[in-house]
Amino acid sequence: MKFETPLLDQLEQGPWPSVVSDIKQEAAHRAANPDGLDYQIPQDCCEDLLGLLELSYKDMETHWKHGGIVGVFGYGGGVIGRYCDQPEMFPGVAHFHTMRVAQPSGKFYSTKFLRQLCDIWDLRGSGLTNMHGSTGDIVLIGTTTPQLEEVFYQLTHEMNNDLGGSGSNLRTPAACMGMSRCEYACYNTQDVCYQLTEDYQDELHRPAFPYKFKFKFDGCPNGCVCAMARSDFAVVGTWRDDIKIDQDAVKAYVGGEFTPNAGAHSGRDWGKFDIQAEVIDRCPSHCMSWDGQKLTIDNANCVRCMHCIDTMPRALHIGDDRGASVLCGAKAPVVDGAQMGSLLVPFVKVEQPYDELKEIIENIWDWWIEEGKNRERLGELMKRASFQKLLEVTNTEAQAFHVKEPRNNPYIFFKEDEVPGGFKRDLADYRSRHQR
Ligand code: SF4
Ligand code: SF4
């Protein structure tokens, strides 16, 4: 290795996988060049990367400069420019840009796809990848400016793929694996994710928003892509009718014939299955009962949390009238603290061509683009301008579940169109009711 890295070496200790070991492995691989590649970026870039990181740990500050717009022709996002402030010392990483690549819906890969991707990146990049970034993209770490167009050409023309989002635009949408493998999927997450990615190409590639905007699609409330915590617009599968119960299978769980939780134990010995302790008492809305023979669910009060279904999957199943709930405004902390999504639409059918969803999305965008401050996420605008405003712009009728806390302001304000017959009739009604 070109540089001593005593500080980084400490990160290789302990039982965890280490990013330092991975970079060293790639550095050694590039030095040996077993495939005889004609590397298009400096062969020793990974060694320089280790040297630069070591210096950052020593100086206790980053040596990546911020700034410098780089990208591919016609796109405003997808490449994150990285320049090092010590190019003489570490020429291999003088520019070392990150490329975000759209992951396939549900993250299904063929080995052919992965080989193609790695072949491109071995030749034209550092060989280092991050599968996947927190938004969901394939992240290709480290290439030079002249290679950006080359990589982009091969991705789009040879692999039929595309760059993901970065900057103030629609970020690469993400979906759980949904109907392809999961019996709980209440709608086709992969299809809607793919379709909306296609439909909103402009928003993905040409930043025109106040800040980032994320869609995520969970097929059910188990939330495998964590949509309600990680996306401005979360679509979470749910159902309107009753949970289906197979009473014989419930008895089989109680009798110990079936293993609860589909055998997943999370390190804990459950002992003999106790339906009262493990299911009935843990139902968050206390809407279940078990009389020793029959399991009953008061479905009107079920909040569709999935706990009972996950615990006894052979006995309970999601209903047949399926769709999704829409939640808005989740985000990680930047300007304000972290916040979860707020329920906007409790149930919407999610069917091609997804016009109902798109109408909600576009109404939100119109409002946010008009009213949002620079770097203000939708969730922050909702806090600043009120949830009621979100209801108005999405033409959503206010319902009790939209109320976070009962009104604490005694001055009640009605708009004229909220009073049946208008203010005049209301006043006349009032007088007639109160005149003696
Ligand atoms: Fe299955 Fe639900 Fe997870 Fe999607 S979110 S993969 S439907 S459990
Ligand atoms: Fe209770 Fe959740 Fe089961 Fe509904 S899904 S009955 S809320 S445990």
Mean pLDDT of 161-184: 94
Q: Angle, to 10 degrees, between the axis of helix 378-385 and the axis of helix 355-371?
A: 70
C-alpha 424 – ligand 2 centre gap (Å): 47
C-alpha triplet 384, 346, 187: angle, nearest 5°: 120
Based on the number of CB atoms within 10 Å of its own CB, is 219 exposed (0-12), middle (13-18) or buried (19 or more)? buried
The per-residue pLDDT for 266 is: 63
In this prediction, residue 270 carries a pLDDT of 67
pLDDT-based confidence at residue 337 (cuts at 50, 70, 90): confident
The token pair at 222 is 């188990």
* CA of 263 relative to ligand 2 center, distance in Å: 20
Q: How far apart are CA 321 and CA 348, in angstroms?
A: 11
Fold classification of 6-158 (topology level): Alpha-Beta Plaits (3.30.70)
Q: What average pLDDT does the chain have?
A: 92
State residue 435's pLDDT score.
64
282 Cα to the center of ligand 2, angstroms: 8
Report the alpha-carbon distance of residue 325 to residue 343 in Å, rounded.
Answer: 7
Query: What pLDDT digit, counting tens, does each position of 30-42 carry?
Result: 999 999 999 999 9
Provide residues with CB under 6 Å of ligand 1. Answer: 176-178, 182, 184-185, 218-220, 222-224
The domain defined by 174-240+321-418 folds into Sulfite Reductase Hemoprotein; domain 1 (3.30.413)
Pinpoint the alpha helices (H) of 255-334.
275, 307-311
Kind and range of the H or E run holding 107: none
Looking at the predicted structure, is the pLDDT value of residue 380 above 60?
A: yes
Residue whose entry in the numeric block shows the structure tokens 């009953």:
296
**Beta strands of 132-266 (E only): which ranges?**
138-141, 174-175, 215-218, 233-239, 244-245
The topology under which CATH files domain 244-317 is Alpha-Beta Plaits (3.30.70)
Residue 124 scores a pLDDT above 60: yes
The atom of ligand 2 lying closest to the CA of 316 is: 3
Tell me the CA–centroid distance for residue 71 and ligand 1, in Å.
35
- pLDDT of 261 reads 87
Residue 306 CA, closest ligand 2 atom number: 5
Q: Is the dihedral of CA 137, 142, 148, 154 positive or negative?
A: negative
Please give the distance, rounded to the nearest whole angstrom, from the Cα atom of residue 222 to the centre of ligand 1: 6
Q: Give the distance (Å) from ligand 2 centre to CA of residue 297.
A: 8
- Which runs of consecutive H residues, i.e. helices, occur in 33-154? 45-59, 111-124, 145-153
On the question of pLDDT at 291 being above 60, the answer is: yes
Residues 6+ apart with CB under 8 A from 391: 344, 397, 398, 402
Give, in order, the Cα–Cα distances in Å from 86 to each of 7, 40, 62, 89: 19, 21, 11, 6
Give the closest ligand to the alpha carbon of residue 222. Answer: 1
User: pLDDT at residue 436 above 70?
Assistant: no
Residues with CB under 6 A from ligand 2: 283-285, 287-288, 297, 302-308
Contact 50, 27 (CB under 8 A): yes
Cα Rg, the chain, nearest whole Å: 27
Residue nearest to atom 4 of ligand 1 (CA): 219
For residues 56 and 36, what is the distance between their CA atoms, to the nearest angstrom? 32
Strand residue runs (E) in 244-380: 244-245, 288-290, 295-297, 316-317, 322-328, 342-348
Q: Give the domain ranges of the chain.
A: 6-158, 174-240+321-418, 244-317
